[in-house]
């Protein structure tokens, strides 16, 4: 039964960091989230103080200051989940059509059904969008692919639907659960899925995908490079343009074959 009231948390911050913080919130919070210019709005029937505390802690680990203002309100309940669902639009990118289950699939695209609890991992984010463009071009039938930091599983699903064999990993247990649910929703299967990173992989791959953040890409660069077969491709994303040079330095022995820029985010494709 629905409560008479719900909690709303509005986070006001520089618009440049809205996507970054929304991605982080996606790891700890599974209900409705709305993105606006310079704002993130969360709604829940439960208290949202833990989200504020987690964001303050996360911001403290970054190498820059991100000023954020937090406003809490208790509001009269209405069917805000339906209102949120109504705000989610499908996404067309490359060969793919990403859509929530309350829309119809398209006959001329590869369909991926994602029911987002929030706008995270649903194809709307610039880095996910650019990765799907790269996957459309570099992944093909029969290849062995790994998605490192798989999140919702959307990129792995895209590879699977192109006929690739897919393995996935993420250090966040919530992402592992989300990934399992989305593969089930799409009646698709993966070869392996584990909690952890690419260092636990046992083989090498035709394509390695890592949509994380620049600092983590640099930290696990050696493992990512080791996981790619000779002649294979490495798709790196989650890179703020200000951090691009640092990532390029970490992968300089590979051949860069493509750079995809969208908003403040960059996706780099390398060949070994």
Instruction: Please write the tens of the pLDDT for every residue from 1-50.
Output: 556 788 899 999 998 888 888 888 877 887 767 888 899 999 888 889 99
In sign, the C-alpha dihedral spanning 164, 19, 198, 229 is: positive
Q: Report yes or no on 113 lying in a domain.
A: no
Q: What percent of the chain has a predicted confidence (pLDDT) above 70?
A: 93
What pLDDT is stored for residue 118 in this prediction? Answer: 45
C-alpha to C-alpha distance for 14 and 243, rounded to whole angstroms? 18
pTM assigned to the model: 0.73
What pLDDT is recorded for position 219?
Answer: 94
Say which residue, 127 or 244, is predicted with more confidence.
244
69 domain residue, yes or no:
yes
* Residue 232 pLDDT greater than 80, yes or no: yes
Asked if the model's pLDDT at residue 68 lies above 70, the reply is yes
* Domain enclosing residue 15, as ranges: 5-85
Domain count, the chain: 2
Q: Which residues contact 125 (CB under 8 A, 6 or more apart)?
A: 19, 22, 23, 119
pLDDT at 122: 52
Whether residues 130 and 212 share a domain: the answer is: yes
Contact criterion met (CB below 8 Å) for 174 and 154: no
Q: Once rounded to an integer, what is the mean pLDDT over residues 236-249?
A: 93
- Distance from C-alpha of 138 to C-alpha of 132, rounded to nearest angstrom: 10
- pLDDT tens digits for 43-65? 888 889 999 999 998 888 887 78
Q: 114 in a domain, yes or no?
A: no
* Per-residue pLDDT band at 205 (split at 50, 70, 90): very high
- Of 247, 5, 251, 12, nearest to 127 by C-alpha is 247
Q: Is residue 91 part of a domain?
A: no
Residue 52 forms part of a structural domain: yes
CB-CB contact of 194 with 173 (8 Å): no
Shared-domain flag, residues 140 and 56: no
State mean pLDDT over 137-165.
96
Are 153 and 183 in contact, with CB atoms under 8 Å apart? Answer: yes
Q: What are the backbone dihedrals phi and psi of residue 237, each rounded to the nearest 5 degrees, phi first?
A: -145, 180
Mean pLDDT score of the chain: 89
**Are residues 158 and 232 located together in one domain of the fold?**
yes
């Amino acid at each position: 039964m629905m409560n008479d009231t719900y909690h709303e948390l509005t986070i006001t911050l520089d618009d440049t960091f809205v996507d970054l913080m929304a991605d982080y919130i996606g790891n700890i919070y599974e209900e409705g989230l709305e993105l606006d210019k310079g704002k993130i709005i969360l709604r829940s029937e439960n208290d949202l103080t833990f989200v504020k505390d987690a964001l303050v802690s996360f911001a403290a680990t970054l190498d820059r200051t991100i000023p954020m203002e937090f406003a809490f309100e208790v509001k009269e309940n209405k069917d805000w989940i339906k209102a949120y669902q109504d705000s989610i639009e499908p996404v067309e990118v490359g060969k793919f059509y990403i859509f929530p289950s309350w829309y119809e699939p398209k006959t001329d695209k590869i369909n991926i059904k994602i029911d987002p609890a929030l706008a995270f991992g649903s194809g709307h984010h610039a880095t996910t969008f650019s990765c799907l463009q790269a996957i459309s071009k570099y992944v093909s039938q029969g290849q062995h692919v790994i998605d490192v930091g798989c999140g919702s599983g959307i990129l792995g699903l895209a590879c699977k639907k192109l006929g690739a064999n897919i393995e996935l990993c993420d250090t966040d247990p919530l992402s592992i659960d989300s990934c399992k649910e989305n593969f089930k929703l799409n009646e698709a299967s993966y070869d392996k899925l584990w909690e952890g990173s690419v260092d636990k992989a046992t083989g090498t791959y035709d394509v390695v995908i890592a949509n994380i953040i620049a600092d983590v890409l640099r930290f696990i660069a050696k493992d990512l490079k080791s996981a790619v077969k000779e002649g294979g491709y490495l798709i790196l994303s989650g890179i703020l343009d200000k951090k691009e040079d640092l990532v390029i330095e970490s992968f300089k022995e590979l051949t860069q074959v493509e750079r995809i820029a969208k908003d403040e985010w960059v996706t780099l494709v390398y060949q070994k």
